[in-house]
Amino acid sequence: MKIIYFSWLKEILGTSSENIKNIENLIKWLSAKSIKHKKVFLKSKNIRCAINHQIVNKNSKIKNKDEIAFFPPFTGG
């Protein structure tokens, strides 16, 4: 996924674009959103991730229309 910035957004952010290629990039990007996000994504050890309902690891690539889910280990049964 590529995010492009124009005009003053580009100037304030100091970048014209950001690439979110994989889950690791996405976690870093989400962690910068708020303190709560940071707490969840960077400090929690047990976060699992699925892309389109399949469990994946942090290196897994993301495509534009993917559905991405984050969750703790399962506790059903």
Partner 1 sequence: MIKVQKQKINISEQNKKLLMKKIGAAVNFIGIARPTNNSGKIKYIEIEHYPKMTETKIKEIEIFATKKWKLDKCIIIHRYGKIKPGENIVYVGTATQHRNNAFKACEFIIDYLKVKAPFWKIEKQNNKKIYVKSIKKDENKIKINY
Q: Which residues bind partner 1 (CB under 8 A)?
A: 46, 50, 53, 69, 71-77
Tell the smallest beta-carbon distance from residue 41 to partner 1 (Å): 17
Residue 54 to residues 17, 23, 39, 68, 69, Cα–Cα distance (Å): 29, 13, 25, 9, 9
CB of 51 to partner 1, least distance (A): 11
CB of 33 to partner 1, least distance (A): 22
CA dihedral 19, 24, 28, 34 (to 10 degrees): 120
> Is 2 or 45 the residue whose CB approaches partner 1 more closely?
45
